[in-house]
Homo-oligomer: A and B are copies of this chain.
Amino acid sequence: MVGQKFVELLSAHPWFKITALAASERSIGKKYREAMRWMMSTPLNDEVGELTVSPCLPELPCRVVFSGLDASVAGEVEERFAQAGYYVISNSRNHRMDPDVPLLIPEVNSSHLELLKTQRFPVGKLVTNPNCSVIGLAMALKPLADRWGIEKVHVVTLQALSGAGYPGVSGFDTLDNVIPYIAGEEEKIEKEPLKILGTLIGNTIAPYSMNLSAHCNRVSVADGHMACVSLTLHQKASQSEMISAWRHFTAEPEVSHLPLAPANPLIYLDDEIYPQPKLHRHLGKGMSVSVGRLRPCSLFDWKFTLLSHNTVRGAAGCAVLNAELMLKKGII
C-alpha cells in the first residue's frame, strides 16, 4: 500500500521523476503494471506502469531512493544504498532510532537534518519518517510541547486496514470486528515521539522527556488512523489557548511552501462528532492532521481525538515531504 502511494504521489510530482522501481525477487523483470495490482483510486501513470522492476541493488539510475521495504530486508538494503551514495528516504522502521539518522517530520523537527552532516555515510544520506500512528500524534503534540511542556500522554489508537499492508488482514477477521493488537506498534508509539520532539545538541538528539503509554487496535476502516489521546501538560493551559495553538501552528516558511506541505498542518474541528476517518482523512490532500473534542480529563489534564491519513501523512506523503525539504535545503 505504501509503495503504491509513493508511486501515486511521485508520478504527479513537480520536482521528482520516477526513473526506476525496485522490488523483491518475485517482481524483478516484470513491467510494474504487471508486477502488482494497482489499488489507488487515481489511475496508474502510463509511463511508470511500463517501467521494468529492478532488483534492490545500488545500481539504480537515480539519485533519490524512496523505500517502503518490509522491515525484514529494509535495514540492510537501505544501508547499502546510502553507502553507495544514494539519498535514501525511508518509511521503514529499521533505522529510525539510529543516533545519526533523522526521524523527520518537516513541520516538527526540520532542524534534525543537521544530523546528516556527521552521518556515517561518505556521500549518501539516510532519512526516515516515523511510524504511521506516530506522525499525527507528534504533530498534534508539537505546539503543546513548545508552549506548555508535556508530562505524559496516554494514547489508544483505532487504526486503518491499509496500515497492515496488502493483503494485510483477512476480510473475514475485519468485518464486524476489532482486533485489539498490532505487533510492535505500541512500542513504537511509546518511543519514537521522544526522539522526534527531542533537541539537537551537537551531533545528537537529546530525547524529549515525557511518559507515553499506548493501546493499539485495528478497526474496519480503509484509511485513516484515529487516536484517543489523554495528556498532562507541565504548565496550565486553557481549552481555547490549546485550540488556538493548534489552529495557528505552521511550519517554518521553507517547509510550508513545499509542494506537498498542507496549508494547515493541524485542523481543529468544532463539531463534537468529528474528526471521522471517512470525512476528514483527505483534508489537505491527506497531509493535514485533524483534531477534535478537546475537553478536560479527570485523570490527565486534557483529552482529545486525533486523525491522520496513515498512508499519506503517516507514510509516503511524509517521506516525499522529507525529500522535498532536503532538496529545498540543498542537501540533495
**A179 CB–B CB distance under 8 Å:** yes
A158 near B213: Cβ-Cβ < 8 Å: no
* CA gap between A38 and B303 in the complex, in Å: 25
CB neighbours (8 Å) of A299 from chain B are 152, 154, 211-213
Q: How far is the CB of A315 from chain B (nearest CB, A)?
A: 14
CB neighbours (8 Å) of A190 from chain B are 298
A176 near B220: Cβ-Cβ < 8 Å: yes
CB neighbours (8 Å) of A300 from chain B are 213
In A254-283, which residues have CB < 8 Å from any B CB? 271-279, 281-283
B277 near A176: Cβ-Cβ < 8 Å: yes
Interface string of A196-220 (1 = CB under 8 A from B): 0000000000000001110101011
A41-B282, A43-B283, A170-B170 given as contacts; is B178 within 8 A of A226 (CB)?
A: yes
In A288-327, which residues have CB < 8 Å from any B CB? 292-293, 297-300, 303, 305
* CA gap between A171 and B178 in the complex, in Å: 12
**A167 CB–B CB distance under 8 Å:** yes
A212-B298, A303-B213 given as contacts; is B175 within 8 A of A174 (CB)?
A: yes
B222 near A175: Cβ-Cβ < 8 Å: yes
In A53-94, which residues have CB < 8 Å from any B CB? none
* CA gap between A303 and B181 in the complex, in Å: 13
* CA gap between A170 and B279 in the complex, in Å: 14
A171-B169, A180-B274 given as contacts; is B1 within 8 A of A305 (CB)?
A: no
**A166 CB–B CB distance under 8 Å:** yes
B297 near A180: Cβ-Cβ < 8 Å: no
* CA gap between A281 and B38 in the complex, in Å: 14
**A141 CB–B CB distance under 8 Å:** no
CB neighbours (8 Å) of A271 from chain B are 37
B277 near A178: Cβ-Cβ < 8 Å: yes
CB neighbours (8 Å) of A176 from chain B are 175-176, 220-222, 277-278
**A172 CB–B CB distance under 8 Å:** yes
B156 near A178: Cβ-Cβ < 8 Å: no
**A230 CB–B CB distance under 8 Å:** yes
Q: 10 closest pairs, A vs B, by CB? A: A167-B170, A171-B174, A156-B156, A215-B228, A177-B278, A213-B299, A180-B305, A171-B171, A169-B171, A220-B220
* Chain A residues engaging chain B, CB cutoff 8 angstroms: 1, 37-39, 41-43, 152, 154, 156, 158, 161-162, 164, 166-181, 190, 211-213, 215, 217, 219-222, 226, 228, 230, 271-279, 281-283, 292-293, 297-300, 303, 305
Other A-B pairs, 12, CB within 8 Å; known A154-B154, A167-B173, A180-B273: A152-B299, A156-B156, A158-B219, A168-B172, A169-B172, A170-B170, A172-B222, A176-B176, A177-B279, A181-B273, A211-B299, A213-B230
Q: List 26 A-B contacts (CB under 8 A).
A: A154-B299, A161-B175, A162-B172, A166-B172, A167-B167, A167-B173, A168-B172, A169-B171, A172-B222, A173-B276, A175-B221, A176-B222, A177-B276, A177-B279, A178-B226, A178-B277, A179-B273, A180-B292, A181-B273, A190-B298, A211-B298, A212-B298, A213-B300, A215-B228, A220-B220, A222-B278
